[in-house]
Amino acid sequence: MGKLSAAIQVAFVQLGAFPPPSAGGPVVAGHPRPQLQPQPTREAPATAGPSPASDQPDLTPLRKELEKALANEIARNEVSIRTVPEGLVISLRGVGFFGSGSADIQPKSQAAFDRMASLLGQGKYHIRIEGHTDDKPIHTAHFDSNWELSTARATQIVRQLITQHQFPPEALSAAGYGEYHPIASNETEEGRSMNRRVDVVILGKPPAIR
């Protein structure tokens, strides 16, 4: 491989692509190859925009503030907060925030939602809202399936963040997952209650453009 490398570099010298080798450079095949000196690491070119570190903020202080602001809801199992590789997830459970088969936030939970939104609005976060249901089929005058219900709940949250809390629309996205991303077993009422939720996912970095 050393002979091949030397031959290739000599060929480039002959073509004028490389300058002639110095005394310490490679030699033609058949002669000893001197030890190459390590080259300095090439620095990446400067680019506009935030550094990678700024794309991955430390969400620990935010989690502590949210846990304090939503302590009562957490104690009543209406809200849970967990850290995942993508970032921070705030689960707004249907038992506290949504009526059965409804996409509207219940009036009794509006104050808690506003506290959460106020804290999130203080940082420039990219947020994905995910609607989830249990596995019981739904068919109402408004929604023909769990897909539609979960998506409607997610978009309702996005609408409130934009219209009532002035979140920039480009920082938000909504998704409906229906019954297909459970976090507990649907074999028990407790598990189904945990699966009926809207997850507010604070992303550690901007979502990729697809």
Residue 127 lies in a domain: yes
Instruction: Indicate if 79 and 174 belong to the same structural domain.
Output: yes
- Same domain membership, residue 131 and residue 80: yes
Query: Count of domains in the chain?
Result: 2
Spell out the residues 6+ positions from residue 165 whose beta carbon is closer than 8 angstroms to its own: 114, 117, 118, 121
Place of tokens 């978009």: 155
Residue spans of the chain under pLDDT 70: 1-56, 204-210
For the whole model, what pTM was predicted?
0.71
Measure the CA–CA gap between 2 and 55, rounded to whole angstroms. Answer: 43
183 domain residue, yes or no: yes
For the segment 42-84, what is each residue's pLDDT rounded down to a tens digit? 444 444 444 444 456 789 999 999 999 999 999 999 999 999 9
pLDDT value at residue 180: 96
Which residue range is the domain that position 32 belongs to?
Answer: 1-36
In this structure, is residue 154 part of a structural domain? yes
pLDDT digits (tens, 9 = 90+) for 113-128: 999 999 999 988 999 9
Pairing mode, strands 87-93 and 126-132: unpaired
- Regarding whether 192 and 115 lie in a shared domain, the answer is yes
Does residue 102 sit in the same domain as residue 164? yes
What's the CATH number where 124 sits? 3.30.1330.60
pLDDT at 54: 47
Q: Are residues 30 and 68 in the same domain?
A: no
Q: Name the CA dihedral angle for 94, 137, 128, 80, rounded to a multiple of 10 degrees.
A: 30
